[in-house]
Amino acid sequence: MKSINLFVLLMSTIVIAQQKTLKQPVFTAKNKVITVYTTTDNSDLKISKTDEVGFKELIQPLETQTCVFVNPNKKFQTFIGIGGAITDASAEVFSKLSSEKQNELLQAYYSKQNGIGYTLIRTNMNSCDFSSDSYVYIQDGDKDLKTFDIEHDRKYKLPMIKKAMAMIGKEYTFYFSPWSPPAFMKTNNNMLKGGKILPEYKQSWANYYVKYIKELQKEGISVWGLTIQNEPMATQIWESCIYTAEDERDFLKQYLGPTLKKAGFGDKKITVWDHNRDLMVQRASTILDDAEAKKYVWGLGFHWYETWSGSAQMFDNVATVNKMYPSINLMFTEGCVEKFNAERYNFWGNAERYGKSMINDFNNGTVAWTDWNILLDENGGPNHAKNFCFAPVHADLQTDKLIFTPSFYVIGHFSKFVQKGAKRIGTSVSRSQIISTSFQNPDGKMVTVVLNQSEEKVTYNLCIGTNAAEITIQPKSIQTLTY
């Protein structure tokens, strides 16, 4: 009798599973119309609707035809969101704008209807290079954190973060990163120029994260996650702190992970590495091959600055980590165009760097993508280390004017259209002039992004099964196709 009951239960489970499978609609291109949105170099086209195209039968593409192949049956990682960092610099510049321009900026970034729909917010715990000065939240030597106070952040940073959150709504995802512990906790007794955390202060430093989360909660800011250390292998002239892979692994499993869990913050998403793609495989291997450390890890974060050495962007390393550790989330945590020059506000190469990186990173398994400063002034700052950079939007504080660079619109080709919870869809191209990625939103709608890296116009077929739509993309352009 027991065997019969088990058999009946097993068959019922199979039938229910089949019914669930049957309920999932299979995407078909038949009768679909593609809406095309385009941004082009040296043009007024900025996420502009440029075409509507229907599908026609194309059973077998020819070698002479350029194609983007989309296979809706092949689904990969779940998309979380796109956004940028609200640093001290961004918030300070924001505070100096008129209320009209402040609203324009918030709408541009955080409104899905009127802007590009950012949902991710990153910020710095303690100061970073994009702060007007170096600061911490405690008095010097306060190992027990009795003087912990985030009053510094209440002037500029927290007000802007709250306004961004209010516009995003419930879908906002907020995380933070430290650049350096207080100087007295470090081997070089300096927040700047690297140094390492002293062993006797590791527990105090772990407690610091807990204190920060609690203070943010008091401000009504819900913390989704954190990274352990920004750029842990870079000795910078600004705030920095060095962790070898073994250092980060041991700090996580011996101090930070248990401390967060004990404080009731075991649900906070901990991201390791938070540095360039060049060493990410070695860092992943060292931390994630340790079972005790791995249980605290939500994801591995990475930047794009491996190009400082003359290297190309190491996209394959992202794919390698994804293959080696498929249960670990990949998140792009920072990228910007370095060496500010106001004469290059409209330089397409800066924008193309974003498009190329985002397409490759998503195709290699990335679930979330975070730009660096969302706003800087007309000098690429403020920055106490004089490390001036580009942002997608700059403010000319002399004229109360916002300058939207092409990078803003290129990022928007992803963030405006891909929804939280979307699944990446199998996508490939037949020619190297163009690159592409696709997502299917929770509502079933498909989104394909195509970047034309070449100096020539390209006509391509968007192919789904035996159906295709012929589309033309101008030189140095990006398109988003919704269908």
Known catalytic residues are: 231, 334
User: Alpha carbon of 422 to those of 238, 249, 268, 284: distances in Å?
Assistant: 38, 32, 22, 26
Question: Residue 153: CB partners within 8 Å, gap ≥ 6?
Answer: none
| Number of Cβ atoms within 10 Å of the Cβ of 241 | 29
Distance CA(125)–CA(138), nearest Å, equals 12
Cβ–Cβ under 8 Å, residues 67 and 429: yes
Both tokens of 262, joined, read 């004990």
Amino acid at 109: Y
Both tokens assigned to 260: 């967060």
Among candidate residues 322, 374, 414, the one with its CA nearest the CA of residue 163? 374
Judge residue 132's burial from the number of C-beta atoms within 10 Å of its C-beta, 0-12 exposed, 13-18 middle, 19 or more buried.
middle
User: Which letter does DSSP use for residue 418 in this model?
Assistant: P
Q: How many residues does the chain have?
A: 483
Sign of CA dihedral 148, 152, 157, 163: positive
Residue 199 DSSP class: G
C-alpha torsion angle, residues 380, 381, 387, 390 (rounded to 10): -30
